[in-house]
Amino acid sequence: MMAVALLGFAFSCQEDEAPYQTESAYVAEESVTDSYYDDADDMGLVAVSSESGTAGGKLSSESSGLLEVNDDRLCALVAIAFDEASTLAFPIGTITIDFGAGCDDPRGNRRSGKIFIRFSGRRFLPGSTIVITFENYVINGIKLSGKRTLTNISGSVEEAPKFQIELENGLAVWPDGTEATREHCFVRTWNRGVLINPSDDVLVVSQCGDADVAASGTNRRGVEYSMIIQSDLIYKRGCPIAVQGVKIFRFNGKEIVVDYGTGECDNIITITVDGNAHSVNVRKRG
């Protein structure tokens, strides 16, 4: 589902080894971590929707075994195992994505370790869940752990698909041993294009309705932060970052506003710190 758009704040360089120079570096770090968790989500959704497994959320086979998944990120063994209680109407099982000792995708991202996807119910059926966990999973040198739960909270199958995404005990460990923790709760709504044209698809991301913040945690320097989504983030197919929406980060008594613009697919964001605004091309950082 909109594989590129889900990556969020997709910097061309994955992290800056130099010491933090500005508060903007904190924003970049949080966004890179978030994008890697989103990437794992998206691979899980692609695997769940594979033709030989649960195509489009509709189970096509109950036989356990290897899956053939059409996604060039998955240079890995992908296996599915159904529970005994699984049925065509309500599939239950686990998908394992095993990158082994490591492999590279066509974009130069290197992944190793395993991702586990526990699914219960058809993907587009209200109430269905997908739970993603990790075993020694590393992407571009950053090790991820935690529990990511995607719950279909749509009112009916006729509505635009809506998922609540919660991350518990999120931990990202960099090659130098520094760590960042993270918890978050988002809601994603998939608005289909006119005449079901995929190129017109729009993904809308907001924070959970009963949550005070969209995300919180500590960065690599042990600084606590929180983030709220002030204005819904809008993603379009083919655009590597949000094209519209506003995030606000708070830490050490400071507030950073990140504005994604008014709808143009231009890789430009505006960061405002202490009232001073400057534009950043996220594809040129690093």
Structural domain span for residue 268: 5-14+21-281
**Residue 2 pLDDT grade (very low, low, confident, very high; cuts 50, 70, 90):** very low
Q: Model confidence over 201-234: pLDDT tens digits?
A: 788 999 998 889 999 999 888 889 999 999 999 9
Q: For residue 286, is it within any domain?
A: no
Q: Which long-range contacts (CB under 8 A, 24 or more apart) does 60-64 make?
A: 62/86, 62/88, 62/91, 64/93
Reply yes or no on whether the pLDDT at 160 is more than 60: yes
Domain contains 249: yes
- Residues of the chain with pLDDT > 90: what percent? 41
pLDDT at 134 over 80: yes
How many separate helices (H) and strands (E) can be counted in the chain? 1, 16
**204 falls within a domain:** yes
Question: Where does the pLDDT of residue 61 fall: very low under 50, low under 70, confident under 90, or very high at 90 and above?
Answer: very low
Question: Which token pair is 57?
Answer: 């959320």
Q: Quick one: pLDDT at residue 283?
A: 60
- Residue 43: the pLDDT is 86
- pTM for this structure? 0.81
Percent of the chain with pLDDT strictly greater than 70: 83
- The answer to whether residues 105 and 73 touch, using CB atoms and an 8 Å cutoff, is yes
Q: What is the dihedral of CA 217, 145, 154, 42, to 10 degrees?
A: 120
10-36 average pLDDT score: 58
Please tell me the total count of domains within the chain. 1
Confidence band for 170, pLDDT divided at 50, 70 and 90 = very high
pLDDT of residue 193: 63
Residue 98 has pLDDT above 50, yes or no: yes
Residue 63 half-sphere exposure, CB side, CA atoms within 13 Å? 6
Is the pLDDT at 131 greater than 70? The verdict is yes
In a domain, residue 29? The reply is yes
Partnered with residue 120 across adjacent β-strands are 92, 129
In a domain, 277, yes or no: yes
DSSP assignments along 209-243, one per residue = TT-S-SEEEE-TTS-EEEEEEEEEEEEETT-SS-S
Q: What is the pLDDT of residue 151?
A: 96
